[in-house]
Structure 1
Amino acid sequence: MEHLNAASAEELEQALLTCLRSPRWSRRVAEHRPYPDLASLLAAADEAAYDLTWADLTEALAEEPLPALPPDTYAAAHTALNAAHAAYEARFGHVFVICLDGLSPSEVLDHTLEAIRSRLTNDPEEERAVTADELRRLARGRLLAALRGAVPQSRCGYRRVGAIDHNEPAPGR
């Protein structure tokens, strides 16, 4: 916490962008320092996430990285995941994200496919709210990981980009 409070605004904003690719969110979290404790930081991060506009969220969605599928995932699973993403993106016009923190690697694929199928039944306004909440949860998990000194990447939901192998990093990352 001391390092976070002592960092320059620019350093902290860049570090926070690894948690959520929203410049507005990272600025807001950085501007509210100093944080006396972890609970205060997490509350500020949540509040800043709740205040993001749909344009801010769309900007963050465009930068979501691809997580890795377990190495033994069948090609058919990749095909099913790509088809589900295509249907989701056609319906909502943006990528699918989901926080997968707390799931074992063996649960990731099934949980993701089930969530996409379930969320396809949402109306667009309802899905915007779910997407915003998932991004907030991702940012919170990544922030906690960064504070623990781990790589600040909460496991996020898959993003379909053509026929990309989901075990490869997203282009430009």
Structure 2
Amino acid sequence: MTEPPPAPLSLAALAAAEPSHLRELLLGICSGPAWAAAVAASRPWPDRAALLAANARATAGLSPAELNEALAGHARIGTPRPGDAASAREQSGIRGAEPSVLVALAAANSAYEAKFGHVFLICATGRTAAAVLAAVRERLPHDAATEAEAVREELRKINDLRLDRLLAES
């Protein structure tokens, strides 16, 4: 059985969280331990913009190995992990797509994974399966360095959305 998501927090409560609790919360946002440590080390955050800036700096600073650790927490696009509410919510635009689009998306995912050695990462919130398929096809010709930068940007966007969801509305 899956645990319910944590209740939203205020920015002040997040900044004041005990280190072990903050680490747990941040690892729920992004599975990269280096990312979580960098974001935690940047507290306190005077405002939401400072927290999101900390996310951007932490994401940009990940080594290739650390980026791979962060990617390991993400499901393959089009197949959210069972019981992973965040993944299912973020990929909701994929559900109900035409079977031919889903087959093409699975094939594109396989080609991408074979080339780059990790799942295709995209901020899928609000995107249809056809839009995600177009993005995979657009990014597949990238070289490894170009794609790593694209992945960092998508990871930053996903983390921003997850941080926003964690925080209570002011």
TM-score of Structure 1 vs Structure 2, range by shorter chain? 0.7 to 0.9
Structure 1 stretches (4+) deviating beyond 6 angstroms?
none
Which amino acid in the other structure matches residue 26 of structure 1?
A
Q: 1:77-106 CA distances to partner (integer Å, 9 max, x unpaired)? A: 3211110101111111111010133x2xxx
**Bigger relative contact order, structure 1 or 2 (CA pairs below 8 A, ≥6 apart):** 1
Question: What SS does the aligned partner of 1:88 have?
Answer: helix
In structure 1, C-alpha distance between the alignment counterparts of 2:141 and 2:27, rounded to whole Å: 31
In structure 2, C-alpha distance between the alignment counterparts of 1:53 and 1:38, rounded to whole Å: 25
Query: Percent identity among equivalent residues?
Result: 38
In structure 2, C-alpha distance between the alignment counterparts of 1:120 and 1:112, rounded to whole Å: 12
Output aligned runs, 1:148-167, within 5 Å. 148=168
Which amino acid in the other structure matches residue 109 of structure 1?
A
Task: Name the counterpart of 1:81.
Answer: 105
Task: Name the counterpart of 1:114.
Answer: 134
In structure 2, C-alpha distance between the alignment counterparts of 1:125 and 1:99, rounded to whole Å: 19
Unaligned runs of 5+ in 1: 150-173
* Contact kept in structure 1, 2:56 and 2:156, CA below 8 Å: yes
* Contact kept in structure 2, 1:20 and 1:26, CA below 8 Å: yes
Q: Does 1:49 align with 2:69?
A: no
Q: TM-score, normalised by structure 1?
A: 0.77
Output aligned runs, 1:54-65, within 5 Å. 54-65=64-75
Question: What SS does the aligned partner of 2:128 have?
Answer: helix
Which amino acid in the other structure matches residue 28 of structure 1?
A
Task: Name the counterpart of 2:19.
Answer: 9
In structure 1, C-alpha distance between the alignment counterparts of 2:163 and 2:63, rounded to whole Å: 21
Q: 1:33-58 CA distances to partner (integer Å, 9 max, x unpaired)? A: 21111111111111111111110110
The alignment yields a C-alpha RMSD, in angstroms, of 1.6
In structure 2, C-alpha distance between the alignment counterparts of 1:46 and 1:73, rounded to whole Å: 32
In structure 1, C-alpha distance between the alignment counterparts of 2:56 and 2:100, rounded to whole Å: 37
Matched residue count: 145
Q: Does 1:22 align with 2:54?
A: no
